[in-house]
DNA sequence: AGGCCAGATGTAAACGTTTGCTGGGAGCGG
DNA sequence: CCGCTCCCAGCAAACGTTTACATCTGGCCT
């Protein structure tokens, strides 16, 4: 039952690790009667080593189970092999996807990703940044908190940093999502369906794109001569609970808006739950557009029309950008890279109650 | 404002910004007319340095923006400050939650978490392990792939490693979830409701708890004199698509099972989608128990009875365990730590069709 | 033969810290 | 005044690599 993995003829077993600690280049050199320099060069594939010697060294290193000490290597050669990834949390699927893609991608480029969590707390953020700086990160991907401290900014000075998903003006480089356009699209979509009375539940968070989302939606409405009434706009902290409560408040009145847009993924979950409990018929009584991951919205009944950010792409882009930044030290477009968000039209949006299409 | 209290000292340039690279201990020592040893001790809070000197050093280091080079520190003092966290992926919410909790927790303990993704591929896993070993990780938390290579095992030998969520026998230490008991509970729950005809869609994955889940469910049924028919059992790779297809196959026949249990979160999503498309009435026609994160199951209509693992707790436990292992080098319980999974009874389970309770 | 170049290896100095050991004052009892 | 012990601070040797430079061996050209 347990995979014994004793297949294969030649027992290429490494020698039993003796108690003399990890094997170093010095050990290999001594055992082979070579100098450390030659061994080092052989292991690094430097061409000046005679091929047969190089092969012998590599073979010996392999069976002795040598693993290079990257700390020493980095220290001496002044190369850096870590990339820091600092986000508020990684339970948020968006950041999880980004972390995943980024870790994979930078490892392919020869780097290693240190994951740090700020918990959206400027204090922890600052501590994490210091810790990352101490680890000599080559580059840094960060989704900053709203209250980023001057100390944090100072820590970042002179390093290759790319802002991710949030803008706080601490680097010329950033990869964000064009939420404004997406929410504008959502407005257009709802207007086309014939909606005239709107509600919005979003976040007030300045550092994230909260304001942009609201603005994109509202501006598009205004462009077409409609407005988003104040008493049907709720700006809240992005938690499931707040979304739930706001939806109850907004939707338990006598007259519902015919279309409701939610501007945060956590809020969306709460709103969706409240809508179901309130028994509001979607989309017959009210259309609903949410923001967030495309997956869970598909499971809801009816499947939710969803504004979703291309997190995989964003992650790859940001990893690419930071890798370029640290390697070539070169010139890259300074202006933020804005990747388009997508409006997935599903079953939760339709014509408003009065109109039979 | 910037008078630098230059009594006895010379160069009073306390300007933070110069292009001469990062500030080192040597620089601070020179600027203060001290030796590197004293500065090092002052910064590390060694008691033998006079308090006023220590304070002066710290103050100066602060305004010069000194950040210690942890690579050098680690190299010299043979301390290690990284913890490796190697999982198949982190898009899976389970691992995301674990990564989050673990990163926070180990950072509180003074470590830093390197996140590595194996993609469930033994090759990548091996490469990642080598990379982590090169980074001189103090400890390692790993959810191994099914086909873990001998080379990977060799890399792990002699290191503090804890298996997480999956068992592959590469350490005496592990933190897993007692899925057997939870699936046993699920069977008991369904039997109590009066069900007699069952279906199961799960994974065949040996390394994950796939077998345990199936076994827990099946054994409990057998204990009560019932059985899980072969033709209503599907064992598949854990993807949403496979779950979707399997559910179609299983449920489009004339006679449905009255209760269906799904043994993986990805499969669960696919099954849930298929069930809705098939128009099976849950729980009137069929009860449904899924496995996975508690959140999205709550959004489904009806809210899904869910077996869910305590990932936060597991993450904290595993972080704690590995921290203990690396610091105290001490004795900890060797046997796997098994944390109980929870059966959240919600609206998707009820009495079988024939019985009006 | 002598000189020269190239190819292969060795020597030793870094990289930025920590830390064992040494040393110089100061305090103090004899 | 000596000798001892504390208390601080400095000297210098590590930690495991990389790498500029030196060295050595042949081979080839003139």
pLDDT in tens, chain B (357 residues): 333 333 333 333 334 445 578 999 999 999 999 999 999 999 999 888 999 999 999 999 999 999 999 999 999 999 999 999 999 999 888 899 999 999 999 999 999 999 999 999 999 999 999 999 999 999 999 999 988 999 999 999 888 999 999 888 888 899 999 999 999 999 999 999 999 999 999 998 766 788 889 999 999 999 999 999 999 999 999 889 999 999 999 998 878 999 999 999 889 999 999 999 899 999 999 999 999 988 888 888 899 999 999 998 999 999 889 888 887 655 666 778 999 999 999 999 999 997 554
Contact (CB, 8 A) for B131 and B152: no
Chain-chain contact of A116 with B99 (C-beta, under 8 angstroms): no
**Residue A167 banded pLDDT, cuts 50, 70, 90:** confident
What does the DSSP 8-state code read for residue B357? -
* Per-residue confidence (pLDDT) for residue A98, from 0 to 100: 92
Question: What is the rounded average pLDDT for all residues in chain A?
Answer: 89
Flag whether pLDDT at A13 surpasses 50. no
> Nearest-CA residue to the C1' of D13?
B76
Residues with Cβ < 8 Å from A274, sequence gap 6 or more? A243, A244, A245, A247, A248, A251
Q: How many CA atoms lie within 13 A of A152 on its CB side?
A: 25
Residues with Cβ < 8 Å from A119, sequence gap 6 or more? A88, A89, B104
* Per-residue confidence (pLDDT) for residue A9, from 0 to 100: 37
Summarize the confidence of residues A269-293 as an average pLDDT: 94
Q: Which of B67, B93, B300 sits opposite A93 (nearest CB)?
A: B93
For the beta carbon of residue B141, count every other beta carbon within 10 angstroms. 30
Measuring from the CA of residue B49 to each C1' atom, give the nucleotide at the shortest distance: D8
* Per-residue confidence (pLDDT) for residue B5, from 0 to 100: 37
Of A143, A150, A197, A186, nearest to A165 by C-alpha is A143
* Per-residue confidence (pLDDT) for residue A106, from 0 to 100: 92
For the beta carbon of residue B241, count every other beta carbon within 10 angstroms. 14
Euclidean distance between CA atoms A267 and A249, whole angstroms: 14
A62 in contact with chain B, both atoms CB, cutoff 8 A: no
Euclidean distance between CA atoms B130 and A68, whole angstroms: 9
Alpha helices by DSSP H, listed for chain B, are 25-32, 36-43, 51-64, 70-77, 93-108, 122-134, 150-156, 179-193, 210-223, 240-251, 265-278, 294-299, 311-327
How far away is chain B from the Cα of A292, in angstroms, using its nearest Cα?
13
Of A77-81, A250-254, B227-231, the poorest mean pLDDT is in A250-254
Which residues of chain A from 66 to 105 reach within 8 Å of chain B, CB to CB? 67-72, 74-75, 81-82, 85, 89-91, 93, 96-97, 99-100, 103-104
- Determine if the peptide bond prior to B302 is cis (ω within 30°): yes
Flag whether pLDDT at A323 surpasses 90. no
* Bridge partners, A288 (sequence order): A260
Flag whether pLDDT at A276 surpasses 60. yes
Q: Which of the 67-126 residues on chain A come under 7 Å of nucleic strand D at their beta carbon? A: 68-69, 72-73, 75-77
Chain-chain contact of B69 with A136 (C-beta, under 8 angstroms): yes
Q: Which of B72, B134, B299 sits opposite A269 (nearest CB)?
A: B299
A47 touches strand D (CB under 7 A): no
Chain C bases closer than 7 angstroms to a protein Cβ: 7-12, 14-20
CA A160 – C1' C10 distance (Å)? Answer: 39
All residues of chain B having their beta carbon less than 8 Å from the beta carbon of residue A17 are: 157-158
**Residue A10 banded pLDDT, cuts 50, 70, 90:** very low
Euclidean distance between CA atoms B292 and B238, whole angstroms: 12
Give CA angle at A47 (A46, A52), nearest 5°.
Answer: 100
Give CA angle at B127 (B126, B129), nearest 5°.
Answer: 65
Residues with Cβ < 8 Å from A172, sequence gap 6 or more? A334, A335
B254 touches strand C (CB under 7 A): no
Of A149, A147, A129, nearest to A86 by C-alpha is A129
Phi, psi of A292 (to 5 degrees): 145, -160
All residues of chain B having their beta carbon less than 8 Å from the beta carbon of residue A3 are: 146-147, 206
pTM of the model: 0.89
End-to-end CA distance of chain B, in Å?
Answer: 83
Could you write out the DSSP letters of every residue in A226-243? ----GGGEEEE-S-HHHH
* Per-residue confidence (pLDDT) for residue B309, from 0 to 100: 92
B37 touches strand D (CB under 7 A): yes
Measuring from the CA of residue B27 to each C1' atom, give the nucleotide at the shortest distance: C16
* Per-residue confidence (pLDDT) for residue B3, from 0 to 100: 38
Number of H helices and E strands in chain B, helices first, is 13, 12
Q: What is the largest CA-CA distance in chain B?
A: 96
How far away is chain B from the Cα of A185, in angstroms, using its nearest Cα?
26
* Per-residue confidence (pLDDT) for residue A114, from 0 to 100: 98
Contact (CB, 8 A) for B316 and B128: no
User: In percent, how much of chain A has pLDDT > 90?
Assistant: 71
* Per-residue confidence (pLDDT) for residue A331, from 0 to 100: 62
How far away is chain A from the Cα of B44, in angstroms, using its nearest Cα?
14
CA A317 to chain centre: 11
Question: What CA dihedral angle connects A238, A242, A244 and A250, to 10 degrees?
Answer: -110
In B, minimum Cα distance to A106 occurs at: B116
Of A59, A146, A140, nearest to A106 by C-alpha is A140
Could you write out the DSSP letters of every residue in B19-33? SS-S--HHHHHHHHT
* Per-residue confidence (pLDDT) for residue A329, from 0 to 100: 57
A288 in contact with chain B, both atoms CB, cutoff 8 A: no
Contact (CB, 8 A) for A313 and A269: no
Chain-chain contact of A71 with B67 (C-beta, under 8 angstroms): no
Summarize the confidence of residues A226-232 as an average pLDDT: 94
């Amino acid at each position: 039952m347990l995979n014994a993995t004793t297949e294969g003829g030649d027992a290429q077993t490494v020698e039993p690790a003796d108690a003399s600690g990890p094997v170093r280049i010095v050990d290999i050199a001594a055992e082979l009667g070579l100098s450390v320099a030659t061994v080092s060069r052989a292991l690094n594939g430097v061409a000046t080593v005679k091929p047969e010697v190089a092969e012998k060294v590599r073979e010996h290193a392999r069976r002795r189970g040598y693993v290079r000490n990257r700390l020493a290597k980095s220290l001496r050669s002044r190369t850096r092999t870590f990339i820091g990834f600092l986000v508020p949390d990684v339970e948020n699927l968006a950041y999880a996807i980004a972390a995943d893609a980024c870790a994979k991608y930078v490892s392919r480029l020869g780097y290693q990703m240190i994951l740090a969590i700020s918990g959206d707390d400027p204090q922890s953020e600052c501590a994490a940044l210091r810790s990352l700086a101490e680890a000599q990160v080559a580059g840094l991907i960060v989704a900053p908190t709203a209250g980023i401290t001057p100390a944090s900014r100072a820590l970042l000075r002179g390093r290759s940093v790319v802002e991710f998903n949030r803008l706080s003006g601490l680097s010329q480089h950033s990869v964000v999502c064009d939420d404004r356009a997406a929410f504008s699209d959502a407005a257009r979509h709802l207007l086309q369906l014939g909606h005239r009375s709107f509600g919005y539940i979003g976040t007030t968070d300045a550092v994230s794109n909260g304001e942009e989302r609201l603005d994109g939606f509202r501006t598009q409405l205004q462009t077409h001569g409609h407005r988003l009434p104040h008493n049907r706009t709720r700006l809240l902290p992005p938690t499931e609970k707040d979304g739930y409560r706001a939806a109850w408040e907004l939707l338990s009145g006598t007259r519902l808006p015919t279309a409701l847009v939610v501007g945060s993924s956590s809020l969306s979950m709460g709103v969706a739950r409240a809508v179901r409990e309130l028994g509001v018929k979607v989309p017959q009584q009210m259309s609903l557009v949410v923001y967030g991951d495309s997956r869970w919205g598909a499971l809801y009944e009816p499947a939710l029309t969803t504004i979703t950010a291309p997190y995989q792409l964003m992650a790859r882009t940001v990893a690419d950008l930071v890798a370029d930044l640290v390697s070539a030290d070169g010139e890259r477009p300074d202006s933020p890279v804005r990747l388009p968000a997508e409006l997935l039209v599903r079953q939760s949006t339709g014509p408003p109650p009065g109109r039979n299409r």
